[in-house]
């Protein structure tokens, strides 16, 4: 049984761990090897966890499941928090401006109703199990409740698995792309879909 819940500051270390493990599996051969190693090294994971713990968790969703060694509880409706393992997360909020940060004062008023899915990561052993789709569905529902009309995301051009996942979830390419210098110059492409 998977439970989706809002993230808390105490989840920061697990979020950083999930991101690093997912990046190692999903981006091998997509991001240059040394760049990927540097961005997922233990010290990078610790820095990210510390930064995340000190910043807002608004828009962060956690997917958790019973820990592999937790005793089975067949009548339980959701994992016991003490015996749960964080297996994925998503983050969304206002669509970011060109400088990679939320743009709270867009020049075009129509941009006020645009959300962005900043991140979606699921531990590799839970890929193709419905966890990613559950996170996307919950993010879409919350974005609709917040009044957003559509939602975008950026995905690495070489991430074929991720692109297929988003296309199956109703996202379509916009034709926009950008070179991501922080990731060794690989290209990211933008996808978008209506929230409802």
Q: Can you give the pLDDT at residue 185?
A: 92
- pLDDT averaged over consecutive 10-residue blocks of the chain (196 residues)? 95 97 96 96 97 94 86 53 86 80 42 88 96 97 96 96 97 95 94 94
Tokens at 15, concatenated: 């979020």
120, 90 contact by CB (below 8 A): yes
Q: What is the pTM of this model?
A: 0.86
DSSP 20-89: HHHHHHHSBTTB-HHHHHHHHSHHHHHHHHHHHHTS--TTEEEEEEE-TTSPP-TT-SS--GGGEEEEEE
At how many degrees (to 10) do helices 42-53 and 33-40 cross?
Answer: 50
Q: What are phi and psi of 80, to 5 degrees?
A: -65, 130
Rounded Cα gap, residues 136 and 128, in angstroms: 13
Q: Can you give the pLDDT at residue 103?
A: 39
Rounded Cα gap, residues 50 and 42, in angstroms: 12
Rounded Cα gap, residues 39 and 100, in angstroms: 18
Tokens at 50, concatenated: 């510390």
DSSP state, residue 96: B
Q: Can you give the pLDDT at residue 104?
A: 39
Q: Can you give the pLDDT at residue 67?
A: 84
């Amino acid at each position: 049984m998977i439970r989706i819940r809002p993230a808390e500051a105490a989840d920061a270390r697990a979020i950083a761990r999930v991101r690093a493990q997912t990046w190692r599996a999903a981006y091998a051969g997509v991001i240059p090897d040394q760049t990927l190693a540097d961005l997922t090294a233990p010290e990078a994971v610790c820095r990210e966890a510390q930064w995340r713990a000190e910043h807002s968790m608004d828009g962060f969703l956690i997917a958790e499941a019973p820990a592999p060694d937790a005793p089975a509880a067949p009548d339980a409706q959701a994992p016991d928090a003490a015996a749960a393992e964080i297996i994925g997360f998503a983050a969304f909020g206002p669509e970011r401006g060109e400088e990679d940060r939320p743009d709270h004062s867009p020049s075009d008023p129509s941009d006020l109703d645009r959300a962005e899915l900043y991140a979606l990561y699921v531990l590799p052993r839970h890929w193709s199990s419905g966890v990613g789709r559950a996170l996307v569905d919950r993010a879409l529902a919350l974005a609709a409740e917040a009044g957003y009309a559509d939602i975008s995301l950026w995905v690495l051009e070489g991430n074929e698995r991720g692109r297929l996942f988003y296309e199956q979830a109703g996202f379509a390419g916009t034709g926009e792309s950008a070179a991501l210098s922080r990731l060794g110059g690989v290209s990211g492409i933008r996808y978008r879909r209506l929230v409802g």
